[in-house]
Amino acid sequence: MQRTPRLRPCSTAGVSGAGSLIRDVRPPRTHDEVARELSDTKMKRFIPLLVGSLLVLSLALNIFLWSRLSSQSNQLKSAQASANEIDELRRQNQELQMNRTSAPDSASANARELARLRNEVGQLRKQAGEAAALRVQAADAAQLRAQLAAATQNLARAESALADAVKLSPEELQQVKEEAQSVQCVNNLKQIGLAARLWAKDHGDVFPPDFISMKDQLATPKLLFCAGDTAAARVSEWSQVDQSLISYRLLNPNGNLTEPTKPLATCAIHNHTVLSDGSVHRQ
């Protein structure tokens, strides 16, 4: 009896191997594709540096404004202590008046007491005026806290936008970069407006004649240069500042705080404007 020979199935390894070789053969990349890949790589490296710089700048601004607010808080505590002292002097005055009605002294003693009371009343009036001024400064400090919170929120939104920019195309990434520069410009103008108002509080409610005059109120001269001003020579020392190269223009030198809606300064790059009350109008 003859055996029927078995037929072995043909192996597909060779065929699949040939298919993989065909799939691995890709057309060479063009020059534009290589340039775009290099551009994306550079932008991905630049974005973390930009975000880090923004975080450092935000921290420096917060430290400066916090020191100013702490000073205002200490002055308010001093005013409260003065008010308590005023109440104590009034109570002592009432006790003296009661003692005088129950046991009147001699005419000379009354004259001396009257002179002393007049002196105390003059001091009390002076302290009451100082307390009122400190209450006004406390109200301004509350307004500055609100402005600081708004600036911090704007910076947080800009940082979030930069983090999302990694996923964008080069054109979209450029738009995000320009928006971040615009937001940074608004923050610079807010700090300039805040510094000008602080300077005016110490100089009879009159704004400074130029930017250099309020260098003690500004945390750094870098605030005078817009992030979008590529031609500006940014400096870190006040002695190196050339006022002709500053990105912003002072529109209300020697102006008065009583005109809150009058423009105070503007950006020559974005045309953003800060008003005398510290608010910023974006274009």
Max mean pLDDT range (28-32, 60-64, 200-204): 200-204
CB 264 within 8 A of CB 251: yes
Q: Mean pLDDT across the stretch 183-205?
A: 92
pLDDT in tens, 117-142: 888 888 888 888 877 777 777 777 77
Q: What is the percent of the chain with per-residue pLDDT over 70, rounded to a whole number?
A: 80
CB 159 within 8 A of CB 55: yes
Residue with tokens 């551009």: 39
pLDDT in tens, 157-166: 777 766 665 6
**What pairs with residue 263 in β-bridges?**
275
Residue with tokens 């006022």: 243
Please tell me the predicted confidence (pLDDT) of residue 1.
47
pTM (two decimals): 0.43
Q: How far, in Å, CA of 263 to CA of 248, rounded?
A: 12
pLDDT in tens, 28-60: 667 677 677 777 676 777 677 777 777 888 788
Q: Which residues contact 182 (CB under 8 A, 6 or more apart)?
A: 228, 270, 272, 282
